[in-house]
Amino acid sequence: MTRLFLLFIAYIMLSMLLAGAANSSASEDPSAFVICDRIKRLSICEEYRLSTLSATDRQLITKHCTVGERCPDENRIGRCIRFTDPDGLVLDKHYYRGSKKKHDWDASTIEETCIQSGGKFEDG
């Protein structure tokens, strides 16, 4: 009985640790990130963790994107945490309303795309 109780406690602690790690990106230091802001044109902002990029990818992305910032919260419809793009890069992809696109993103499309790309959808 004691062994079962200890396993249960360990499971709860592990679950809390994993949940905290998944939600910690909002409090992480902006200098650890690079963003590609495409909000005005495509209603998206891509956020990369510098620590996860290879030297080649880091060089390419930092050449065209902004280091030390985070994607804004304003007008965000949803985001996909740990989105994997076709090149195998892992990023957080933020979706926005009110750009120059004809149509805004909708949460159901974002969620479906996110899940298909191996990510975790977060509303707003």
Convert the pLDDT of each residue in 80-106 to its tens digit.
Answer: 999 998 889 999 999 998 766 666 788
Give residue-wise pLDDT tens across range 17-33: 344 444 445 567 888 99
Q: How far is CA 91 from CA 13, 61, 71, in A?
A: 27, 12, 12
pTM score, whole prediction? 0.72
49 vs 45: CA distance, rounded Å: 13
Q: Which helix (H) or strand (E) is 115 found in, with range?
A: helix 107-116
39 vs 75: CA distance, rounded Å: 10
* Domain boundaries defined on the chain: 28-123
Instruction: Mark out the alpha helices in 25-96 (DSSP H runs).
Output: 39-42, 55-64
Most distant CA pair in the chain: distance in Å?
62
- Closest to 80 in 3D by CA, of 56, 108, 55: 108
Lookup: tokens for 32: 């650890």
